[in-house]
Structure 1
Amino acid sequence: MGGALSGRSALISGAGRGIGRHLALGLARAGMNVALLGRRPAGLDDTASECVRFGVEALTHPVDVRRPAAVRAVVDDVLGRLGAVDLLVNNAGIADHDESPPWQVDADRWWEVLETNLRGSFNLCRAVLPSMVAAGAGRIVNINSNVATKRDIRYTAYGTSKAALLALSDALAGPLRAHGVSIFDISPGMVRTDMSERMTACLERDQWVSVDLVVDAVVRTARGELDPVSGRYLHVGADDLTELVARARAGLPDGARTLRLLPYGAGDPLA
C-alpha cells in the first residue's frame, strides 16, 4: 500500500473541524477518497465540499463513535461504497474543560472523555480491522497527546484516555504486524484548535505547532514511509521523523517509544 495514494481510501473521525478537517483535506489532496465521520453534519458537509475539489470521493457520516452498532453500520456502508479502508485515522476526541482535581469534577463528564477518546477509537478499530486483516494490508493512526506520557493533574480524563490508547496500540501492534497491518500513535503537539484554545496548558505556550506538520506525518504514514516505526509513539512537534525511521531501521531498543513501566534498578522483580 506504499507509494501513490490515488484511489486509496481513508476514514477519518472528528473530520468536521480542527485537526481532523485538515487531515481530511491533506489526504484528499494526496489523492485518497475520504470517509468523514463526526457528530455535526454541517461541519462534515463543509469538509466534504472542499475535499471533492481534489477529484476524490468524499462520504459523510454523522455518528457518535461511542456507539458500537452505529460505528459498525457506518463502516459497513463505507466498505460497500469505497471497497476498502486503507487508512483509519482515529482523531475524534474531547478534553477536560473543568481543570479541578478529579475528586471534584463531574464524574459523567470525566467518563465522557474516556468513552469518546478510547472507546470511540476501539469501536472504529474493531469495525475496520477485520477487512484490513483479510486484505493483509492497512494502517491505523491514533491521534494521541503528550499528556499521555507527561502527567498534568488538570487533565486526568484526557491523559488517562490517551495513555490507555497508547496501551491499546502497543497491544495491537505485534499481532497486526503478522497480518500486514501497521498502527501508529501520532501526537500533534500544541496545534491551535477550538479544543486546545480552551486548555490552559496550551495557552501557556508562546508558540503553536503548525498543523501542516501533522498532515505531512499522516500522509507519509498512508504512503508507508513510516512503517518501520509502527507501534511507536511519534511527536510531530518535536520529532525528525526521517531520522526516527532511520534509527528504527538500524534497530530501536525493545520498548522504545512505547508505554512501559521503568524498573527502579538492578534487583527490581519487574525488570
Structure 2
Amino acid sequence: MELELTGKVAVITGPAKGMGAAVSLGFAREGASLALLGRDTAAIEPVAGQAREIGVAAGVFGCDVTDEAAVGAAVAAVLERFGRIDILVNVAGGTGPIGKTGVETTAAEFDEITHLNMRGPFNMIRAVAPAMAAQGGGRIVNVGGTFGMRGRAMRLAYSSSKWGLRGITKSFALELGPDNINVNLVAPGMVDGPRFRDKVVPQVAAQYGLSEEEAAAKHASDYALGRITTDADVAAAVLFLASERARQITGVDLPVDGGWAAL
C-alpha cells in the first residue's frame, strides 16, 4: 500500500528515543522530511543523522512543548526552513507518579503530568493548524495510551492526562475538519523496551515470585494476541493515520495493544 508520504514535512515531538525515534525513522523511510522538536537537541541529533543517511532532510529544533512562546518560535522556524507543515505527531509526554493511589498523589504531581501530556499537544496543534489550513489541509496524530481508555488504579494522574488528550483530539477533529485537517489518536498499550524490561518485568517477578522471563510472559497473557506491543507497531499505526490512505478517518482512538482496551 502506497502511503504517499514522499515529500511531506512531518513535525514530530519527543523524537529522541523509543516510540518517537521509531515514528521519526518510519516517516524518513517513507520519504518525508523531518522537523524534530524537543528540549534536549543533542539527544535528538542521532535520530536526525539516521534520517539523513536514509536520504531525507531532517532538522532539529529546540522546544519545550508546554511553553506557548517556545512552540510558536519552533513552528515559525520549521516553516521558514521547510515552507510547509503537512503532518504533526505529538509523541512527547511523561508517565507521572507510579504506584500511588489518587489520594496519595499530590496536587503538584497531578498538575505536572496533566500539564505535559495535555498542554503540550494543545500548544502544538494551535500553532500548526493555521499553516495547515492555509495550505489546504494536514494530518495530526496524538500519541495517547490505553490507560486513557479503560483507566488504571495507581496511575490516576497519567490516566487522567490521557483521557484529556482524547477530548483534545476529538474536539480539534470537529473544529479542524472543515479545513481538511484530520486529527486522530494512537493509544499504545505496554510497549516493549527499557521501561518494560527494567521496571515492569522485575516488579511483576517480585510480586508473584516468578523469573523475569515468566513475568514477561504473564504480562503478555493479559492481551488477546498474547504479545507485547513494539515501537514499530506504534509507528505503523501513526504512519497509516498520517497518510492519504486515512483521508476519511478523523477523531478516532486507535488502540495498539494486542487487544486489551477494546476487548
CA distance in structure 2 between the partners assigned to 1:56 and 1:168 by the alignment: 31
Provide the C-alpha distance between the structure 1 equivalents of 2:20 and 2:60, rounded to a whole number of angstroms. Answer: 13
Does residue 225 (structure 1) correspond to residue 239 (structure 2)? The answer is no
Give the TM-score normalised by the residue count of structure 2. 0.84
Partner Cα separation in structure 2 for residue 98 and residue 211 of structure 1: 22
Equivalent in the alignment of 1:49: 49
Aligned equivalents of 1:228, 1:195: Cα separation in 2: 35
| Alignment: residue pair count | 239
What is the alpha-carbon root mean square deviation over aligned residues? 2.1
Separation (CA, whole Å) in 2 of partners of 1:56 and 1:108 = 41
CA distance in 1, matches of 2:195, 2:112: 15
Task: Say whether the 8 Å CA contact 2:19–2:232 is kept in structure 1.
Answer: no
Is 1:235 matched with 2:255?
yes
Q: Given the alignment of the two structures, is residue 211 of structure 1 paired with residue 231 of structure 2, yes or no?
A: yes
Paired with 1:67 and 1:163, the residues of 2 have a C-alpha distance of 21
- CA 1:149–1:3: 2 relative to 1, 3 Å: closer
Asked whether 1:36 is paired with 2:56, we answer no
- Map residues 62-77 of structure 1 onto 2, 5 A cutoff: 62-77=62-77
- 1:9 counterpart residue number: 9
Corresponding letter in the other structure for 2:120: G
Q: Bigger shift: 79-88 or 211-220?
A: 211-220
Deviation at 1:196, TM superposition (A): 4.9
Kindly report which structure 2 residues correspond to 1:111-126, keeping only aligned pairs within 5 A, or say none.
111-126=111-126
Q: 1:3 to 1:105 in 2, by over 3 A?
A: closer
For residues 153 and 62 of structure 1, what CA distance do their matches in structure 2 show? 35
1:37 is displaced (CA, Å) by 1.3
Give the TM-score normalised by the residue count of structure 1.
0.82
Amino acid across the alignment from 1:205: H
Aligned to 2:209: none
**CA distance in structure 2 between the partners assigned to 1:32 and 1:148 by the alignment:** 30
Distance 2:108 2:195 in 1: 19
- C-alpha distance in 2 between matches for 1:196 and 1:166: 24
1:93 and 1:180 map into 2 onto residues whose CA distance is 27
Q: Structure 1 pair 84/91, CA: closer, same or farther in 2 (3 Å)?
A: same
C-alpha separation between the residues in 2 aligned to 1:176 and 1:100? 37
The answer to whether the 8 A contact 1:19-1:193 is kept is: no
Structure 2 counterpart of 1:144, which letter? G
| CA distance in structure 2 between the partners assigned to 1:29 and 1:145 by the alignment | 25
How far 1:102 moved relative to its partner? Answer: 2.3
Look up the match of 2:26.
26
1:222 Cα deviation after fit? 2.4
Deviations 1:9-41 (A, max 9, x none): 101100011100110011011100001112222
Matched residues in 1 for 2:100 and 2:189: separation?
23
Uncovered stretches (5+) of structure 2, i.e. residues with no partner? 205-214, 221-226
- Does the Cα contact within 8 Å between 2:65 and 2:124 map onto a contact in 1? yes
| CA distance in structure 2 between the partners assigned to 1:132 and 1:160 by the alignment | 29
* SS of residue paired to 1:85: coil
Distance apart, 1:76 and its partner CA: 0.4
